[in-house]
Chains A and B, each alone.
Chain A
Amino acid sequence: MIRFLHAADLHLGLRVTRFDEDACQRVSEARFTALQQIREKAAQLRADFILVAGDVFDDHCVSRTDAARAFPILESSSGSCPVFVIPGNHDPLVPGGVWDRDPWFREQPHLRVHFLRKPEPVAVPNFPVTIFPCPLRQRRSMDDPTSWIESHPREDGDRTIRLGLAHGSLNIMPLPDDDHLIRADAADHYQLDYLALGHWHKHRSHRSADGIVRTAYCGTHEPMSFPGGDVSLATGWASYSADGEAERFSDDGHGVALLVEIEAPKAPPRIEQVSIGCLNWRAERQDVTATPLSSLIKEYSHRDNPQRTLLRLTLGGVMDPQAYSRLDELRQIVQLRYHPGSVLDSDGVLIEPDAEQLAEAVGDGVLKRVLERLQGDVRSADPASKQVAQRALSLLYQIAWEEQHA
């Protein structure tokens, strides 16, 4: 029996832009921490080796520092298991790219890191395992990266466990033609005991014709998007695929890897999700109409592990002007208590005082008429006008309330 850890899409040197500089740096740094966790988890789970199915780096031109930092983490200590790595579409094997640089370009063998440059069978030392690596040399291609395995069928009497290691999209849904499409029955067709895939950012397994799962995407080891797929939650990262914003490139907000156990050739693999990762990315919506702001303040003040939570809290609903003034309190909690980059978006909150509050807030003068006009504007069909009107309304309440209570 063999036991190995299947990881992919590490995207070290991640390029996110929709955070401030400090948050960007921390988010990027968290991926290295998570990489360390893979190593630790492999040791903890006594994995025989680790497969990394592409996209170790976010790009082939990541900084020398990032490239250099990754290597020793994967190499780890002398007692560690070997790691087999292939280039993905983000870090394809291009001349002068990250793989051509030190330490990755250094003459092999490394002790533990095996960077598989060529599509040729590789025997795992000390194990009856043959890996069929499918390294990518291009960002996009209409070729099936696994097709070369066709010429290496299992020979009679071959008792090795055949593992495919590839990066691309399993052709099981409508996909762009040049997204390194891998035939859906690749595992069966190439007589593979397990096809370890990378490219999609959340865990997904695919059953073979015999109903056994031999093909799986492990998901990214560290989240890089807020779950939900809302445009407003975008981080500035996008895949190099033609449909780079597609759902398959979203993760679940937490990092994972797969622990795979295979008893013998042709035996069904046992696949188990292993939690990895440094940060939890959470995108939450709260309705201030239903939940009082004070409750929200209390809840977000007492959550566990806030420093490892990257929170994007979006508020909606209607609140009165007095409560509105406490929004900043909640904003402070989100921004200071949670991981840098956490934000509170209260643009969707509408302030609607009752009649008494209204009269008190704006009086009987010109402001009353202004308020009426703005309330009309808020119902505008034009989103831009509506947005301006909502903000103007908030300002009106805010200034009027402050002046009343000055």
Chain B
Amino acid sequence: MILEGFEVENWTCIKKLNVSGLPPSGVIILHGPNRRGKSSLVKALRACLMDFASNSTSKVLTNHFPRGSGEKPAVTVTFNAGGTSYRIKKCFGTNKSELASRTSTGEWRVEAATASEAHSRVCELAGGDDSRKGLNQLLWLTQSEYHLPEPKKFDSNVQAQLRSILGVLQTPLDDRFIDRARKRWNDWYSGQRKAGKQHKLKSGCNLSENLDRLAEARAEFEQCEGRFNELEALIRQASELETLLSDLARQLRERKSEYQEHQEERERSVARIDARKVSVERHLSAQKELEASLVEQRQRTEAVQRLVEAQNAVLPARRTVDAFVRIVTDSEKREELTRDATSERREEQRALQQLANRVATKLREIDDFENLNRARTSRERGDSITRMIAATKAFLAQNPIPDKKQLDELKTTRRRILQLAADCEAASMTLRVVPEEGARPAQIALDGGPSQSWPGSPAPRGFPVRRTAVLQIPDWGRVELSRGTSSADLDQIEDELRRCQEEYSSSMASFGFAAHDLEAFDQLRRRIADHGSKSKELQDQEQELKKVAPKGLEPLQRRVLELETALKNLAAPDHEANNTLPKDRDGLENLRRNLNNQIEDLDKKITRLEKDLKGIGADLLKAREDVTDAKERLAGYEATASNRQEELERLQTEEQIEGRLDQARRNLEAAEGELRRSELTEEESTVDERLAAAGEAVKALDKQTRENEEKYHRIKGRLEGSEGMHAERARLGAKVDELARLTKRESLEKDAVDRLYELFEECKEKQLGTLMGPIQNRVLNWMRVLDIGDYKEVRFSDAFLPDMLVRRDGTGEFCIDEESTGAQEQIGMLVRVALGSLLAREIEPSVAILDDPLTHSDVGRLNRMRGILRRAAEGDAKLTPPSGPLQIIILTCHPEWFRDERATVIDLESPEVMERFAV
């Protein structure tokens, strides 16, 4: 369907609008400023062609009735559908509607004249009763609409039309099939199937539960099989035990028989064995007796020998005691002599020490006197230096001097004063007075100062005059001289000079100098020089004082007092010493040295004597110990000899012992004879041993048999306890098999459904790519013209709408929403016109009504978009599938965006086109 023209009356702000002769294809621009009624016009067209019958009372419709005028809106649209022109006229708010078709003669023939019929017919022709559905969903854009429809909401009829053009994509059977397959798939999995993803089984689904049950059953079955295998091992063990027990029983029988034989043999030999035992015992007894007699004989011989040895030891021991007693006596005498000599030397040493002490006392007195004198001298010198320091400090305090900074300032100020004074001088006039010889003294007052008498010497003299000078010449009168010109400079210099002088005076006064005495500065300099020398003196004095009294005068004073007290406290004078000892220090020192040497010699002698005495004491001690030891040894030898004697006396005599020996030898000979006679055979001698061995073997076999029987019975008990295990194994095996069968079958079913689902998605995707190829290429080419991104593919969904953009460099896939708003709007427009032109036919173009489109585009893209829209509107029959022409009606306030030489431009501001209600 395309529009040929339309008339609108009384619609919102539009009083009257008339557009006719619209071209069947191409771009048509209806432009006008804001609030001109462009959007209202679109709504009027929508209402007339599809949305409302003329008698509709919908609020949406009545909102467009003009306010205040009471007029009813009337909209007439002339359009072409299926090659025939129609005219629909609807007077809204009334039943008046008329649909007419143009005959071949150009006349209008009424097709329907009632509101409902006309509305119904026109809807059929226009493609629906809702202007937001059908192809209009794509091609009729409201203001600010730039998003493409959502795939789920995209009109199914349009999809069907596209399918019919592009080829079969997904049939209703496919839809139903995949719905069922998906439902089935969801029996095992959650969510949607995604290609390449390993989906996990949904927990709680039948298969999952069966797999869990199967795992449990298998574990249980394996446990049971484990028990069964243990039992099998026990059976083998039992079989081995049976063999072993049988063997043991045989061995036991044999051993018991053997034991019995040995017992009988022993019974037969018992009398001879007993007799043999008696003989052996007797023989043993005789042997013992003989041995005892021999032992006694040996003991006596040894006792005699020991007695002789003891007696031989007593005499030398006595001699040793006597020798040691003599040594002790000698040592005691030597000790006494040495002790006496030591006492004498000590007496001598004591006397010499007393004399030496007197000499030392005398020397100490001399030292104290000398120290006292030195202390007194130091104290006096310290006092003297202290006084000098006080005087120097007083001088320095009374004659202050400036620091370097102050001195520099003073220097500067003084220099400035001299400079300013010179300047004043230079600025002064000179009053030269040349008195005559004998002239009377005149009075001169300069610059307001006091008059001074000038004696009037004959020598001429000049007076500097700054401003005024008054010369009183006796008998002549006054001469007044005044500076005639401005004295501003002079004033300034004087002010500066005065300020400097005040500053100088103030500074100098602080150092005790007269205010304006410039010479005082030299005095100050001299004072500074004096200050330097005095400070040096002060420093030297302080250093000297530090040497004389490092800790101050107080310790010196204390030292003097101490020495004086010490001298006063000396003991009473040693008159003897004073008389006998030398007076002088050297004599005393020599005497002291001599005395010390003598004392030292005596000390050495005493030490030697004491050492000797110690040695003698040690010798004496040892000799005494030796005496004791020798005496003890002697006593021991004597006691031993006595004991040996007693021991010997206790033993039998030699004769007695010889008699006993003879008797024992005879007894032994008799026993040996008896022993030989009772000799046993080999069998008789080993029968006990063999009997015991056989008894042990029987016991061991018996024990082994019992142990193995216990084992056997334990196994038997366990095997008895296994009753019913076979049925249990069967039950568990059946359970495992049943579950394995179920899960295998269901797994196969699941895999088959998954495969179907997978293949369906793959095939759909592939088919979609094939079918949507032309559309994709068209849109992609236009995107390149617009320079939107660098995409190699626009991927369309099965609803014929783009859902992904694929970068040329393969860096990824992007949703269209990820692009900029402008790009989204432009891509949307490209898709709309691409799909729209696909549905358009050469004989029946489609109309696109775009209300204020591409508002987010920059000028560059708008310029390129203009060309794309124009080309799309023209259509291209050579394309596959062919692209039909479009009638693109753009309502805009920016006609320059879309205008080109081929566009039809209609100015809504033109009174011929549109008349508005007065606002």
Contact = CB atoms under 8 A, between A and B. Distances in A.
B254 interface: no
B726 A97 contact: no
Nearest to B228: A61
A96 B715 contact: yes
Residue of B232, B726, B727 contacting most chain A CB atoms (<10 Å): B726
A365 B171 contact: yes
B504 to A, nearest CB: 117
Nearest to A404: B173
Given A365-B168, A389-B755, A392-B755, A61 B724 contact: yes
Contacts of A92: 235
B181 to A, nearest CB: 7
A394 B752 CA distance: 9
A19 interface: yes
Nearest to B238: A95
A17 B767 contact: no
A297 to B, nearest CB: 23
Interface in A364-406: 364-367, 369-370, 373-374, 377, 387-389, 391-392, 394-396, 399-400, 403-404
Nearest to B749: A391
Interface string A178-192: 000000000000000
B725 interface: yes
Interface stretch (B512-520, B525-533, B585-593, B730-738): B730-738
The B contact surface, by secondary structure, is helix
Contacts of B755: 374, 377, 388-389, 392
A137 interface: yes
Contact of A97 (B168, B236, B719, B724): B719
A13 B731 CA distance: 11
Interface in A52-110: 58-64, 66, 92, 94-98, 100-101
A395 B242 contact: no
Given A94-B719, A100-B716, A365-B170, A15 B737 contact: no
Nearest to A396: B756
A364 B730 contact: no
A366 B174 contact: yes
B354 to A, nearest CB: 124
A71 B700 CA distance: 43
B716 A367 contact: no
B751 interface: yes
B183 to A, nearest CB: 10
Contact of B734 (A21, A363, A388): A21
B232 A399 contact: no
A14 B734 CA distance: 12
A236 interface: yes
Contact of B723 (A101, A377, A389, A403): A101
B723 A61 contact: yes
A364 B171 contact: yes
Given A61-B726, A399-B181, A95 B712 contact: yes
B231 interface: yes
A16 interface: yes
A395 B738 contact: no
B720 interface: yes
Interface in B704-721: 712-713, 715-721
Contact of A370 (B232, B752, B756): B756
A374 B756 CA distance: 8
Most buried by B among A366, A377, A396: A366
Query: What is the size category of the interface that chain B forms with chain A?
Result: 35 or more
A20 B739 CA distance: 10
Contact of B239 (A64, A137, A365, A370): A137
Contact of B173 (A16, A138, A389, A400): A400
Contacts of B760: 366-367, 370
Contacts of B719: 60-61, 94-97, 100
A362 B759 CA distance: 14
A137 B242 contact: yes
Contact of B725 (A14, A61, A365): A61
Given A17-B736, A391-B749, A364 B168 contact: yes
Interface in A240-279: none
Contacts of A363: 168, 171, 173-174
Contacts of A20: 734, 738
A374 to B, nearest CB: 7
Interface residues of A, number: 53
B599 interface: no
Contact of A373 (B721, B738, B759): B759
Contacts of B236: 138
A18 interface: yes
B783 interface: no
A404 B180 CA distance: 13
Contacts of A370: 756, 759-760, 763
Contacts of B235: 60, 92, 94, 97, 138-139
A15 B173 contact: no
Given A363-B173, A367-B760, A18 B726 contact: no
Contacts of B721: 96
Nearest to B712: A95
Contact of A391 (B748, B762, B764): B748
B772 to A, nearest CB: 14
A124 interface: no
A94 B174 contact: no
Contacts of A327: none
Contact of B715 (A13, A15, A18, A95): A95
Interface in A281-330: none
Given A369-B766, A387-B748, A64 B723 contact: yes
B306 to A, nearest CB: 83
Contacts of A403: 173, 176-177, 180
A123 B725 CA distance: 36
A77 to B, nearest CB: 28
B722 interface: yes
B753 interface: yes
Given A21-B734, A366-B174, A388-B748, A94 B238 contact: yes
Interface in B764-800: 764, 766-767
A24 interface: yes
A88 to B, nearest CB: 14
A61 to B, nearest CB: 4
Contacts of B716: 95-96, 100
B163 to A, nearest CB: 10
A366 B727 contact: no
Interface in B45-80: none
Interface in B229-284: 231-232, 235-236, 238-239, 242
Nearest to B765: A366
Interface in B158-198: 168-171, 173-174, 176-178, 180-181
A63 B726 contact: yes
A269 to B, nearest CB: 34
Contacts of A66: 727
B729 interface: yes
Nearest to B722: A61
Most buried by A among B177, B181, B719, B753: B177
A367 B734 contact: no
A63 B729 CA distance: 11
B712 A18 contact: no
29 contacts: A13-B727, A17-B738, A18-B741, A20-B738, A21-B738, A24-B730, A60-B719, A62-B723, A63-B726, A64-B724, A94-B238, A94-B239, A95-B715, A96-B721, A96-B722, A100-B716, A100-B719, A101-B723, A138-B236, A366-B763, A366-B767, A370-B756, A373-B759, A377-B755, A389-B752, A392-B753, A395-B181, A403-B180, A404-B173
Given A21-B738, A66-B727, 14 more contacts: A14-B730, A17-B733, A18-B734, A64-B723, A138-B239, A365-B174, A366-B169, A366-B767, A370-B756, A373-B763, A374-B755, A388-B755, A389-B755, A403-B176
- The 7 closest A-B CB pairs, nearest first, are A96-B719, A365-B171, A95-B716, A96-B720, A17-B733, A369-B763, A391-B752
